Amino acid sequence: MTNRENMKGMRILVVGFGRSGIAAAQALLRLGALVSVQDSKKEEDLDGNLLNFFRTQGAQFYLNTMPPDMGCFDMLVLSPGVSPELPFVQEAKEKGAEIIGELEIAYRIGRGNYVAITGTNGKTTTTTLVGEIFVKAKRKTHVVGNIGVAVISASAAAEEQDWLVTECSSFQLETTRYFKPVVSAILNLTPDHLNRHHTMEAYGAAKAKIFANQSADGWLVINYDDKACYALAKGCRAGVVPFSVEEELEFGAFVKDDRLVIRGRDGELTEICRREDIRIIGKHNLQNVLAAAAICYFAGVDPAAIRKGICEFRGVEHRIEFCGEHGGVRYYNDSKGTNTDASITALKAIERNIVLIAGGDAKGQEFDGFVREFPGRVKKLVLLGRDAHLIQEAADRAGFSDYVYCRDMAECVEKAAELAEPGDTVLLSPACASWDMYDSYEQRGEHFKECVARLGV
Protein backbone atom coordinates (compact mmCIF):
# COMPACT_ATOMS: atom_id res chain seq x y z
CA MET A 1 0.00 0.00 0.00
CA THR A 2 1.32 3.44 -0.91
CA ASN A 3 1.53 5.75 2.11
CA ARG A 4 2.95 9.14 3.06
CA GLU A 5 6.50 7.72 3.14
CA ASN A 6 6.54 6.57 -0.49
CA MET A 7 4.55 9.29 -2.26
CA LYS A 8 7.65 11.21 -3.34
CA GLY A 9 8.08 11.11 -7.10
CA MET A 10 4.78 9.30 -7.76
CA ARG A 11 3.01 10.53 -10.87
CA ILE A 12 -0.55 11.28 -9.74
CA LEU A 13 -3.51 12.70 -11.64
CA VAL A 14 -6.11 14.36 -9.42
CA VAL A 15 -9.44 14.30 -11.28
CA GLY A 16 -11.77 17.13 -10.30
CA PHE A 17 -10.67 20.48 -8.90
CA GLY A 18 -13.42 21.06 -6.38
CA ARG A 19 -13.14 20.99 -2.58
CA SER A 20 -11.77 17.46 -2.26
CA GLY A 21 -9.59 17.70 -5.38
CA ILE A 22 -7.97 20.93 -4.21
CA ALA A 23 -7.25 19.44 -0.76
CA ALA A 24 -5.88 16.22 -2.27
CA ALA A 25 -3.59 18.05 -4.72
CA GLN A 26 -2.22 20.26 -1.96
CA ALA A 27 -1.48 17.36 0.38
CA LEU A 28 0.15 15.27 -2.35
CA LEU A 29 2.37 18.14 -3.49
CA ARG A 30 3.60 18.55 0.09
CA LEU A 31 4.62 14.89 0.10
CA GLY A 32 6.67 15.34 -3.07
CA ALA A 33 4.32 13.69 -5.56
CA LEU A 34 4.34 14.84 -9.19
CA VAL A 35 0.79 16.14 -9.38
CA SER A 36 -1.34 16.82 -12.44
CA VAL A 37 -4.96 18.00 -12.24
CA GLN A 38 -7.76 17.34 -14.73
CA ASP A 39 -11.07 19.19 -14.65
CA SER A 40 -13.83 19.58 -17.23
CA LYS A 41 -14.07 23.33 -16.54
CA LYS A 42 -12.24 25.91 -18.62
CA GLU A 43 -9.45 27.98 -17.09
CA GLU A 44 -11.57 31.14 -17.09
CA ASP A 45 -14.18 29.35 -14.96
CA LEU A 46 -11.72 28.70 -12.13
CA ASP A 47 -10.02 30.97 -9.60
CA GLY A 48 -6.90 32.35 -11.35
CA ASN A 49 -5.05 32.98 -8.09
CA LEU A 50 -5.67 29.39 -7.01
CA LEU A 51 -4.39 28.04 -10.32
CA ASN A 52 -1.29 30.21 -10.12
CA PHE A 53 -0.58 29.05 -6.57
CA PHE A 54 -0.71 25.38 -7.57
CA ARG A 55 1.37 25.97 -10.69
CA THR A 56 4.10 27.58 -8.60
CA GLN A 57 4.05 24.41 -6.48
CA GLY A 58 4.68 22.32 -9.59
CA ALA A 59 1.19 21.14 -10.50
CA GLN A 60 0.30 20.68 -14.17
CA PHE A 61 -3.28 21.33 -15.33
CA TYR A 62 -5.47 19.77 -18.01
CA LEU A 63 -8.55 21.99 -18.10
CA ASN A 64 -11.43 21.18 -20.43
CA THR A 65 -9.14 18.59 -22.01
CA MET A 66 -7.50 15.25 -21.26
CA PRO A 67 -3.85 14.32 -20.72
CA PRO A 68 -2.46 13.02 -24.02
CA ASP A 69 -1.09 9.82 -22.44
CA MET A 70 -3.07 8.16 -19.64
CA GLY A 71 -0.30 5.59 -19.34
CA CYS A 72 2.08 8.06 -17.73
CA PHE A 73 0.35 8.05 -14.32
CA ASP A 74 0.97 5.74 -11.38
CA MET A 75 -2.31 6.72 -9.70
CA LEU A 76 -5.55 8.59 -10.32
CA VAL A 77 -7.27 10.23 -7.33
CA LEU A 78 -10.93 10.77 -8.21
CA SER A 79 -13.15 13.40 -6.62
CA PRO A 80 -16.48 11.92 -5.40
CA GLY A 81 -18.45 13.31 -8.35
CA VAL A 82 -16.22 11.55 -10.89
CA SER A 83 -17.40 8.12 -12.02
CA PRO A 84 -14.76 5.36 -12.20
CA GLU A 85 -16.56 4.18 -15.34
CA LEU A 86 -15.44 7.17 -17.44
CA PRO A 87 -13.46 6.01 -20.48
CA PHE A 88 -10.25 7.90 -19.66
CA VAL A 89 -10.29 6.48 -16.10
CA GLN A 90 -10.70 2.98 -17.47
CA GLU A 91 -7.89 3.62 -19.96
CA ALA A 92 -5.55 4.64 -17.14
CA LYS A 93 -6.52 1.55 -15.16
CA GLU A 94 -5.82 -0.72 -18.13
CA LYS A 95 -2.38 0.91 -18.47
CA GLY A 96 -1.51 0.13 -14.87
CA ALA A 97 -2.63 3.14 -12.83
CA GLU A 98 -4.23 2.57 -9.43
CA ILE A 99 -7.68 4.19 -9.25
CA ILE A 100 -8.68 5.49 -5.81
CA GLY A 101 -10.60 8.40 -4.31
CA GLU A 102 -9.91 11.21 -1.87
CA LEU A 103 -11.16 9.20 1.14
CA GLU A 104 -8.73 6.37 0.40
CA ILE A 105 -5.71 8.62 -0.18
CA ALA A 106 -6.58 10.56 3.00
CA TYR A 107 -6.55 7.30 4.95
CA ARG A 108 -3.22 6.24 3.47
CA ILE A 109 -1.26 9.42 4.03
CA GLY A 110 -2.91 10.60 7.24
CA ARG A 111 -3.09 9.59 10.86
CA GLY A 112 -5.87 9.25 13.37
CA ASN A 113 -8.77 6.93 14.18
CA TYR A 114 -11.79 6.80 11.92
CA VAL A 115 -15.47 6.59 12.71
CA ALA A 116 -17.17 6.17 9.33
CA ILE A 117 -20.91 6.68 8.79
CA THR A 118 -22.90 5.94 5.65
CA GLY A 119 -26.49 5.24 4.59
CA THR A 120 -28.93 6.67 2.10
CA ASN A 121 -30.31 9.17 4.60
CA GLY A 122 -29.45 10.54 8.03
CA LYS A 123 -25.67 10.62 7.49
CA THR A 124 -25.19 14.32 8.17
CA THR A 125 -27.39 14.39 11.28
CA THR A 126 -25.74 11.30 12.74
CA THR A 127 -22.21 12.40 11.86
CA THR A 128 -22.76 15.85 13.36
CA LEU A 129 -24.18 14.40 16.57
CA VAL A 130 -21.35 11.87 16.92
CA GLY A 131 -18.85 14.70 16.42
CA GLU A 132 -20.48 16.81 19.11
CA ILE A 133 -20.52 13.88 21.55
CA PHE A 134 -16.83 13.18 20.91
CA VAL A 135 -16.01 16.83 21.62
CA LYS A 136 -17.96 16.67 24.91
CA ALA A 137 -15.96 13.54 25.75
CA LYS A 138 -12.78 15.66 25.40
CA ARG A 139 -11.50 13.83 22.33
CA LYS A 140 -9.63 15.77 19.67
CA THR A 141 -12.18 15.45 16.87
CA HIS A 142 -12.39 16.36 13.18
CA VAL A 143 -15.83 16.10 11.53
CA VAL A 144 -15.09 15.50 7.86
CA GLY A 145 -16.14 13.88 4.59
CA ASN A 146 -19.35 14.29 2.66
CA ILE A 147 -20.49 16.70 5.37
CA GLY A 148 -18.44 19.48 3.78
CA VAL A 149 -14.81 19.23 4.93
CA ALA A 150 -12.40 17.21 2.76
CA VAL A 151 -11.09 14.24 4.74
CA ILE A 152 -7.54 14.76 3.53
CA SER A 153 -7.43 18.35 4.79
CA ALA A 154 -7.77 17.00 8.35
CA SER A 155 -6.06 13.62 8.11
CA ALA A 156 -2.80 15.02 6.73
CA ALA A 157 -2.36 17.13 9.88
CA ALA A 158 -3.94 14.70 12.40
CA GLU A 159 -2.06 13.00 15.24
CA GLU A 160 -2.31 9.33 16.15
CA GLN A 161 -4.77 9.98 18.99
CA ASP A 162 -7.11 12.18 16.91
CA TRP A 163 -10.56 11.02 15.79
CA LEU A 164 -11.94 11.65 12.30
CA VAL A 165 -15.73 11.37 12.38
CA THR A 166 -16.41 10.86 8.69
CA GLU A 167 -19.60 11.05 6.65
CA CYS A 168 -19.08 8.68 3.72
CA SER A 169 -21.09 8.69 0.50
CA SER A 170 -21.31 5.69 -1.81
CA PHE A 171 -19.24 7.70 -4.30
CA GLN A 172 -16.41 8.02 -1.78
CA LEU A 173 -16.61 4.40 -0.65
CA GLU A 174 -16.63 2.79 -4.09
CA THR A 175 -13.01 3.90 -4.68
CA THR A 176 -11.66 2.68 -1.31
CA ARG A 177 -9.24 -0.23 -1.08
CA TYR A 178 -7.57 -0.32 2.36
CA PHE A 179 -9.77 2.15 4.29
CA LYS A 180 -10.33 0.73 7.78
CA PRO A 181 -12.38 2.59 10.41
CA VAL A 182 -12.47 1.67 14.09
CA VAL A 183 -16.27 1.94 14.07
CA SER A 184 -18.37 1.92 10.90
CA ALA A 185 -22.11 2.45 10.55
CA ILE A 186 -24.75 1.87 7.87
CA LEU A 187 -27.94 3.73 8.77
CA ASN A 188 -30.33 2.54 6.04
CA LEU A 189 -30.48 1.50 2.39
CA THR A 190 -33.07 2.79 -0.08
CA PRO A 191 -32.83 3.63 -3.80
CA ASP A 192 -30.56 6.56 -4.62
CA HIS A 193 -27.84 7.43 -7.14
CA LEU A 194 -28.98 4.67 -9.47
CA ASN A 195 -27.91 6.82 -12.41
CA ARG A 196 -24.35 6.23 -11.11
CA HIS A 197 -24.53 2.73 -9.58
CA HIS A 198 -27.18 1.35 -11.99
CA THR A 199 -28.58 -1.32 -9.61
CA MET A 200 -29.47 -1.56 -5.92
CA GLU A 201 -27.03 -4.46 -5.62
CA ALA A 202 -24.16 -2.28 -6.81
CA TYR A 203 -25.29 0.60 -4.61
CA GLY A 204 -25.44 -1.68 -1.56
CA ALA A 205 -22.04 -3.15 -2.42
CA ALA A 206 -20.53 0.35 -2.47
CA LYS A 207 -22.00 1.06 0.98
CA ALA A 208 -20.73 -2.28 2.32
CA LYS A 209 -17.13 -1.32 1.49
CA ILE A 210 -17.23 0.78 4.66
CA PHE A 211 -16.53 -2.36 6.73
CA ALA A 212 -14.67 -4.45 4.12
CA ASN A 213 -11.28 -4.12 5.86
CA GLN A 214 -12.45 -4.20 9.46
CA SER A 215 -11.37 -7.10 11.65
CA ALA A 216 -12.59 -8.58 14.93
CA ASP A 217 -11.31 -5.59 16.91
CA GLY A 218 -13.67 -3.20 15.08
CA TRP A 219 -17.42 -2.57 15.20
CA LEU A 220 -20.16 -2.20 12.60
CA VAL A 221 -23.32 -0.40 13.79
CA ILE A 222 -26.21 -1.26 11.45
CA ASN A 223 -29.99 -0.80 11.17
CA TYR A 224 -31.78 -3.99 12.24
CA ASP A 225 -35.21 -2.65 11.20
CA ASP A 226 -34.10 -2.10 7.57
CA LYS A 227 -33.74 -5.67 6.37
CA ALA A 228 -32.05 -4.78 3.07
CA CYS A 229 -29.55 -2.74 5.05
CA TYR A 230 -29.00 -5.39 7.74
CA ALA A 231 -28.39 -8.04 5.09
CA LEU A 232 -25.25 -6.15 4.06
CA ALA A 233 -23.59 -7.22 7.33
CA LYS A 234 -23.37 -10.85 6.18
CA GLY A 235 -19.71 -11.84 6.21
CA CYS A 236 -18.59 -8.80 8.21
CA ARG A 237 -15.53 -9.67 10.32
CA ALA A 238 -16.10 -6.84 12.80
CA GLY A 239 -18.46 -7.06 15.74
CA VAL A 240 -21.96 -6.37 14.39
CA VAL A 241 -24.01 -4.01 16.58
CA PRO A 242 -27.67 -3.84 15.50
CA PHE A 243 -29.89 -0.90 16.42
CA SER A 244 -33.69 -0.94 16.38
CA VAL A 245 -36.57 1.36 17.23
CA GLU A 246 -39.03 -1.51 16.67
CA GLU A 247 -37.71 -4.44 18.71
CA GLU A 248 -35.90 -5.24 21.94
CA LEU A 249 -32.57 -6.84 21.06
CA GLU A 250 -30.44 -9.45 22.81
CA PHE A 251 -27.42 -7.30 21.92
CA GLY A 252 -27.23 -3.77 20.55
CA ALA A 253 -29.10 -0.47 20.87
CA PHE A 254 -32.87 -0.16 21.10
CA VAL A 255 -35.78 1.66 22.73
CA LYS A 256 -37.26 0.21 25.93
CA ASP A 257 -40.00 1.92 27.96
CA ASP A 258 -39.36 5.19 26.06
CA ARG A 259 -35.69 5.07 26.94
CA LEU A 260 -32.71 4.62 24.62
CA VAL A 261 -30.64 1.74 25.95
CA ILE A 262 -27.66 -0.40 24.91
CA ARG A 263 -27.34 -4.06 25.85
CA GLY A 264 -23.80 -5.42 25.93
CA ARG A 265 -22.56 -8.93 25.23
CA ASP A 266 -22.99 -9.73 28.94
CA GLY A 267 -26.68 -8.79 28.78
CA GLU A 268 -26.26 -5.72 30.97
CA LEU A 269 -28.40 -2.70 30.02
CA THR A 270 -26.97 0.82 29.91
CA GLU A 271 -29.53 3.63 29.76
CA ILE A 272 -28.45 6.49 27.52
CA CYS A 273 -31.36 8.95 27.73
CA ARG A 274 -35.11 9.30 27.67
CA ARG A 275 -36.94 9.60 24.38
CA GLU A 276 -38.32 12.98 25.46
CA ASP A 277 -34.75 14.31 25.82
CA ILE A 278 -34.35 14.28 22.02
CA ARG A 279 -35.02 17.72 20.55
CA ILE A 280 -35.12 16.84 16.83
CA ILE A 281 -38.44 15.64 15.41
CA GLY A 282 -39.46 12.46 13.60
CA LYS A 283 -39.03 8.71 13.90
CA HIS A 284 -36.09 8.88 11.50
CA ASN A 285 -34.26 11.12 13.96
CA LEU A 286 -34.93 8.64 16.75
CA GLN A 287 -33.09 6.12 14.55
CA ASN A 288 -30.26 8.59 13.91
CA VAL A 289 -29.84 9.35 17.61
CA LEU A 290 -29.91 5.66 18.51
CA ALA A 291 -27.26 4.91 15.89
CA ALA A 292 -25.10 7.79 17.14
CA ALA A 293 -25.41 6.53 20.72
CA ALA A 294 -24.29 3.04 19.66
CA ILE A 295 -21.39 4.40 17.58
CA CYS A 296 -20.10 6.45 20.51
CA TYR A 297 -20.64 3.70 23.10
CA PHE A 298 -18.66 1.13 21.11
CA ALA A 299 -15.98 3.73 20.39
CA GLY A 300 -15.48 3.83 24.15
CA VAL A 301 -17.24 7.13 24.99
CA ASP A 302 -18.66 7.44 28.50
CA PRO A 303 -22.49 7.19 28.57
CA ALA A 304 -22.72 10.49 30.47
CA ALA A 305 -21.05 12.33 27.56
CA ILE A 306 -23.36 10.56 25.10
CA ARG A 307 -26.40 11.63 27.13
CA LYS A 308 -25.21 15.23 27.35
CA GLY A 309 -24.54 15.41 23.61
CA ILE A 310 -27.99 14.05 22.73
CA CYS A 311 -29.83 16.32 25.16
CA GLU A 312 -28.12 19.45 23.78
CA PHE A 313 -28.30 18.57 20.06
CA ARG A 314 -30.58 20.78 17.95
CA GLY A 315 -30.12 19.19 14.53
CA VAL A 316 -28.36 20.26 11.33
CA GLU A 317 -28.92 22.94 8.78
CA HIS A 318 -31.07 22.08 5.73
CA ARG A 319 -32.55 18.92 7.31
CA ILE A 320 -36.12 19.65 8.47
CA GLU A 321 -34.77 22.96 9.73
CA PHE A 322 -37.34 25.32 11.25
CA CYS A 323 -37.08 28.69 9.47
CA GLY A 324 -39.78 30.73 11.13
CA GLU A 325 -43.50 31.38 11.29
CA HIS A 326 -45.45 33.95 9.29
CA GLY A 327 -49.20 34.47 9.54
CA GLY A 328 -49.67 31.30 11.55
CA VAL A 329 -47.82 29.21 8.91
CA ARG A 330 -44.60 27.38 9.86
CA TYR A 331 -41.75 27.09 7.33
CA TYR A 332 -39.23 24.23 7.21
CA ASN A 333 -36.12 23.91 5.05
CA ASP A 334 -35.40 20.30 4.08
CA SER A 335 -33.22 21.04 1.05
CA LYS A 336 -31.09 18.04 2.01
CA GLY A 337 -34.06 15.90 1.00
CA THR A 338 -32.42 15.04 -2.33
CA ASN A 339 -34.19 11.71 -2.88
CA THR A 340 -37.69 10.38 -2.43
CA ASP A 341 -36.96 8.41 0.74
CA ALA A 342 -35.51 11.47 2.50
CA SER A 343 -38.52 13.55 1.54
CA ILE A 344 -40.97 10.84 2.62
CA THR A 345 -39.20 10.92 5.99
CA ALA A 346 -39.78 14.68 6.21
CA LEU A 347 -43.47 14.27 5.31
CA LYS A 348 -43.88 11.69 8.07
CA ALA A 349 -42.08 13.91 10.58
CA ILE A 350 -44.41 16.88 9.98
CA GLU A 351 -47.44 14.58 9.48
CA ARG A 352 -50.24 16.83 8.15
CA ASN A 353 -51.40 20.09 6.52
CA ILE A 354 -48.29 20.42 4.33
CA VAL A 355 -47.79 22.76 1.39
CA LEU A 356 -44.90 20.97 -0.29
CA ILE A 357 -42.26 22.52 -2.57
CA ALA A 358 -40.57 19.77 -4.62
CA GLY A 359 -38.63 19.15 -7.83
CA GLY A 360 -35.14 19.48 -9.31
CA ASP A 361 -32.72 16.92 -10.73
CA ALA A 362 -34.46 13.53 -10.43
CA LYS A 363 -31.25 11.44 -10.66
CA GLY A 364 -33.13 8.64 -12.43
CA GLN A 365 -35.69 8.14 -9.65
CA GLU A 366 -39.37 7.31 -10.00
CA PHE A 367 -41.89 9.18 -7.85
CA ASP A 368 -44.96 6.95 -7.55
CA GLY A 369 -44.01 5.77 -4.06
CA PHE A 370 -43.32 9.36 -3.02
CA VAL A 371 -46.75 10.56 -4.16
CA ARG A 372 -48.47 7.63 -2.42
CA GLU A 373 -47.41 9.25 0.86
CA PHE A 374 -49.35 12.46 0.11
CA PRO A 375 -52.87 11.50 1.30
CA GLY A 376 -53.52 12.89 4.78
CA ARG A 377 -50.25 14.83 4.66
CA VAL A 378 -49.86 17.04 1.58
CA LYS A 379 -52.58 19.59 0.83
CA LYS A 380 -50.89 21.45 -2.01
CA LEU A 381 -47.88 20.76 -4.21
CA VAL A 382 -45.65 23.52 -5.60
CA LEU A 383 -43.38 22.22 -8.37
CA LEU A 384 -39.96 23.57 -9.32
CA GLY A 385 -37.03 22.54 -11.49
CA ARG A 386 -36.04 20.56 -14.55
CA ASP A 387 -37.66 17.23 -13.66
CA ALA A 388 -40.72 18.55 -11.83
CA HIS A 389 -42.91 17.09 -14.60
CA LEU A 390 -41.96 13.59 -13.40
CA ILE A 391 -43.47 14.33 -9.98
CA GLN A 392 -46.53 15.83 -11.66
CA GLU A 393 -46.99 12.71 -13.82
CA ALA A 394 -46.78 10.48 -10.74
CA ALA A 395 -49.30 12.76 -9.00
CA ASP A 396 -51.66 12.46 -11.97
CA ARG A 397 -51.44 8.68 -11.86
CA ALA A 398 -52.29 8.76 -8.15
CA GLY A 399 -55.23 11.13 -8.66
CA PHE A 400 -53.56 14.08 -6.92
CA SER A 401 -54.18 17.21 -8.97
CA ASP A 402 -53.73 20.07 -6.51
CA TYR A 403 -50.37 21.25 -7.89
CA VAL A 404 -48.91 24.38 -9.46
CA TYR A 405 -45.66 25.10 -11.31
CA CYS A 406 -43.32 27.98 -10.44
CA ARG A 407 -40.31 29.42 -12.24
CA ASP A 408 -37.94 29.90 -9.33
CA MET A 409 -37.62 29.64 -5.56
CA ALA A 410 -38.91 33.16 -4.87
CA GLU A 411 -42.11 32.43 -6.78
CA CYS A 412 -42.43 29.05 -5.01
CA VAL A 413 -42.30 30.64 -1.56
CA GLU A 414 -44.73 33.40 -2.54
CA LYS A 415 -47.17 30.88 -4.01
CA ALA A 416 -46.84 28.54 -1.03
CA ALA A 417 -47.53 31.44 1.36
CA GLU A 418 -50.61 32.32 -0.70
CA LEU A 419 -51.90 28.72 -0.65
CA ALA A 420 -51.20 28.03 3.04
CA GLU A 421 -53.67 28.69 5.84
CA PRO A 422 -52.93 29.30 9.53
CA GLY A 423 -51.87 26.01 11.08
CA ASP A 424 -50.31 24.73 7.85
CA THR A 425 -46.63 23.99 7.23
CA VAL A 426 -44.72 25.04 4.11
CA LEU A 427 -42.03 22.43 3.54
CA LEU A 428 -39.20 22.60 1.03
CA SER A 429 -38.29 18.93 0.56
CA PRO A 430 -37.48 18.56 -3.13
CA ALA A 431 -36.98 14.75 -3.38
CA CYS A 432 -34.42 15.74 -6.02
CA ALA A 433 -30.86 16.96 -6.29
CA SER A 434 -30.23 20.67 -6.73
CA TRP A 435 -27.82 20.59 -9.66
CA ASP A 436 -30.30 21.74 -12.30
CA MET A 437 -30.58 25.18 -10.65
CA TYR A 438 -28.02 25.40 -7.82
CA ASP A 439 -24.44 24.40 -7.09
CA SER A 440 -25.49 22.45 -4.00
CA TYR A 441 -28.43 21.62 -1.76
CA GLU A 442 -26.93 24.08 0.75
CA GLN A 443 -27.20 26.93 -1.74
CA ARG A 444 -30.78 25.92 -2.52
CA GLY A 445 -31.67 25.82 1.19
CA GLU A 446 -30.07 29.21 1.85
CA HIS A 447 -32.08 30.73 -1.01
CA PHE A 448 -35.29 29.25 0.41
CA LYS A 449 -34.52 30.74 3.83
CA GLU A 450 -33.83 34.14 2.27
CA CYS A 451 -37.18 34.01 0.47
CA VAL A 452 -38.98 33.01 3.67
CA ALA A 453 -37.29 35.83 5.59
CA ARG A 454 -38.59 38.32 3.01
CA LEU A 455 -42.17 37.28 3.82
CA GLY A 456 -41.84 39.07 7.14
CA VAL A 457 -40.58 42.33 5.60
CA-wise closest residue to 373 among 352, 393, 389: 352
Residues of the chain within CATH 3.40.1190.10 domain(s) are 110-312
CATH number of 110-312: 3.40.1190.10
pTM for the model stands at: 0.80
Residues of the chain within CATH 3.90.190.20 domain(s) are 321-455
Residue 272 Cα to chain centre, angstroms: 25
Q: Say whether domain 321-455 belongs to CATH 3.90.190.20.
A: yes
- Residue ranges for the known binding site for ATP are 119-125
Residues of the chain within CATH 3.40.50.720 domain(s) are 9-101
CATH number of 9-101: 3.40.50.720
Residue by residue, pLDDT tens for the chain (457 residues) are: 778 888 999 999 999 999 999 999 999 999 999 999 999 999 999 999 999 999 999 999 999 999 999 999 999 999 988 889 899 999 999 999 999 999 999 999 999 999 999 998 889 999 999 999 999 999 999 999 988 789 999 998 999 999 999 999 989 999 999 999 999 999 999 866 656 666 888 899 999 999 999 999 999 999 999 999 999 999 899 999 999 999 999 999 999 999 999 999 999 999 999 999 998 888 889 999 999 999 999 999 999 999 999 999 988 889 898 898 999 999 999 999 999 988 998 999 898 999 999 999 999 999 999 999 999 999 999 999 999 999 999 999 999 999 999 999 999 999 999 999 999 999 999 999 999 999 999 999 999 999 999 997 5
- Residue ranges for the known binding site are 119-125
Half-sphere exposure of residue 80, counting CA atoms within 13 Å on the CB side?
22
